[in-house]
């Protein structure tokens, strides 16, 4: 019995000692972090990530007043109440025009009333309204749009408005906290939080893409709103989501502000975005393809060189492997495309390529994309959102329309409820002059009207059914 008690006592002491040692180890682990093997301990120490903020209140109070609701009105054509081409053709039904509205988000980027939003929020709009945090309503002017990045720049006639500065989107890191602010499902000024999930995403939705991915909830109506860092700066413009339904599943995308800065600057000064052009078709190259072509791995492969292009003049050829531009390594075809686009026409760009195993250097003098002229003409035909489509008159068109003049601009289409319709313009009218200045091109007409302030009245000389009449035209606000 005594022996048994002694053994039990020894066992108790041993257990207590083991417990004490174990407790000491666990406490040590809790104080110092998980114990790691000596080999790992010698590795480079990684700085701890910033702690999660206790509250976003201060940031939200700072930036929320600069976020606005963007309400756009557009006019669409419907052939008949049946929506059926057979009935339209059988009854020769004229097209009916309907006014539709949609809403999204935007935010002030300067104190003088400039607003950044998505192109798809205001696309084809004949009127754009802005509602600020106090529900005060403004009519916005579309300064310019850029479908290739899905961005649009608007302006209202106000001063000293609260605004959000555009931060450095390149500096944001995966894992950093961000806030998304907008008007999802028509719920005004909603704030959601999350982190940057990834950078440099390509979705194939726009020509130029470098999306920031976030798990901050973004839904319908958030488009055009800001993605905010913890310094109260916009580092993205919320644009789209991936979802099997209409709601957020934590995969949202924002256009980085560093891409937006060039778009904003160009739209302010030129009314359009001017991008550089090499005249090459490019693609990423796999290690297998590089081996087959006897090229180093990495870089971007030239698949085609346009005749007469800057690239051809500089000496670039098909199968060249571009590895650097202006001394910076080229990581992907999208990366190179952005570098070229951000170059100004007239710039001379240094390009490093491998032609086979031989490394060569070229100087390419950048020009403006030939698409720019076509895009500018299409933009001009919208005639300052006056609700009509204009085409330069020619003898052939005059015969087609049965006109008695081949001068001026033919009004091909008038949107119901638009400024042109409200001022008495009809399809088939031919605009001959603005304030006694004859017009012979859409760009000239646009320039003459742009020189007048909104709300003022101009005098149009119009040929209607062979008669020349004067119409007073009030420019929309």
Sign of the CA dihedral running 466, 468, 469, 474: positive
Q: Which of 72, 74, 197, 223 is catalytic?
A: 223
Q: Which of 98, 104, 210 lies closest to 152, judged by CA?
A: 104
* 239 catalytic residue (yes or no): no
Respond yes or no: is residue 120 known to be catalytic: yes
Identify whether 55 is a catalytic site residue: no
Helix (H, G, I), strand (E, B) or coil at 191: strand
In the Cβ-directed half-sphere of 360, how many Cα atoms lie within 13 Å? 15
Q: Are 234 and 107 in contact (CB under 8 A)?
A: yes
Catalytic pick among 150, 215, 320, 429:
150
What is the distance between the alpha carbons of residues 439 and 448, in angstroms, rounded to a whole number? Answer: 9
Q: How many CB atoms sit inside 10 A of residue 122's CB?
A: 27
Buried b (16+ CB within 10 A) or exposed e, 172-196: beeeebbbbbbbbeeeebbbbbbeb
Going by C-alpha positions, the residue among 447, 454, 418 that lies closest to residue 157 is: 454
**Residues 6 or more apart from 11 whose CB is under 8 A from it?**
none
Tokens of 279: 């005249």
371-381 vs 442-450: helix crossing angle, rounded to 10: 60
- Catalytic residues, by residue number, are 120, 150, 223
């Amino acid at each position: 019995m005594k022996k048994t008690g002694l053994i039990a006592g020894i066992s108790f002491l041993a257990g207590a000692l083991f417990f004490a040692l174990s407790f000491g180890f666990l406490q040590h682990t809790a104080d110092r972090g998980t114990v790691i093997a000596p080999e790992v301990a010698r590795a480079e120490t990684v700085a701890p990530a910033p702690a999660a903020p206790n509250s976003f209140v201060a940031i939200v109070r700072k930036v929320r007043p600069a976020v606005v609701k963007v309400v756009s009105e557009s006019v669409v054509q419907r052939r008949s109440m049946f929506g059926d081409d057979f009935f339209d053709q059988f009854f020769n039904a004229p097209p009916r025009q309907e006014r539709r509205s949609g809403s999204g988000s935007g935010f002030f980027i300067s104190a003088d009333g400039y607003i950044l939003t998505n192109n798809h929020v205001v696309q084809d709009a004949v009127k754009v309204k802005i509602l600020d945090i106090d529900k005060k309503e403004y009519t916005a002017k579309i300064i310019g749009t850029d479908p290739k990045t899905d961005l649009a720049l608007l302006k209202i006639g106000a001063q000293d408005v609260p605004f959000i500065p555009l931060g450095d989107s390149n500096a944001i890191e995966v894992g950093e906290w961000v806030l998304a602010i907008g008007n999802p499902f028509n719920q005004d000024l909603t704030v959601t939080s999350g982190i940057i999930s990834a950078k440099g995403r390509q979705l194939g939705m726009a020509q130029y893409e470098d999306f920031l991915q976030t798990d901050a909830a973004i839904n319908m109506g958030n488009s055009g709103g800001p993605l905010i860092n913890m310094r109260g700066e916009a580092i993205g413009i919320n644009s789209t989501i991936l979802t099997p339904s209409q709601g957020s599943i934590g995969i949202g995308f924002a256009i980085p502000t560093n891409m937006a800065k060039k778009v904003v600057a160009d739209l302010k000064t030129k009314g359009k975005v001017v991008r550089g052009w090499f005249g090459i078709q490019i693609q990423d190259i796999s290690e297998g393809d590089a081996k087959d072509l006897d090229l180093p791995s990495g870089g971007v492969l030239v698949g085609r060189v346009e005749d007469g292009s800057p690239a051809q003049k500089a000496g670039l050829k098909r199968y060249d492997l571009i590895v650097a531009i202006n001394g910076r390594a080229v990581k992907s075809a999208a990366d190179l495309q952005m570098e070229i686009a951000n170059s100004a026409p007239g710039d001379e760009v240094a390009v490093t390529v491998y032609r086979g195993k031989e490394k060569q250097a070229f100087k390419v003098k950048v020009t403006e994309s030939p698409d720019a002229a076509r895009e500018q003409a299409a933009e001009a035909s919208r005639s300052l959102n006056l609700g009509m489509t204009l085409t330069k008159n020619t003898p052939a068109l005059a015969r087609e329309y049965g006109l008695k003049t081949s001068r001026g601009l033919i009004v091909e289409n008038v949107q119901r409820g638009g400024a042109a319709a409200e001022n008495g313009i009809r399809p088939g009218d031919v605009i001959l002059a603005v304030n006694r200045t004859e017009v012979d091109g859409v760009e000239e007409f646009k320039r003459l009207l742009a020189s007048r302030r909104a709300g003022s009245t101009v005098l149009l000389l119009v040929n209607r059914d062979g008669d020349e009449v004067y119409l007073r035209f009030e420019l929309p606000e």
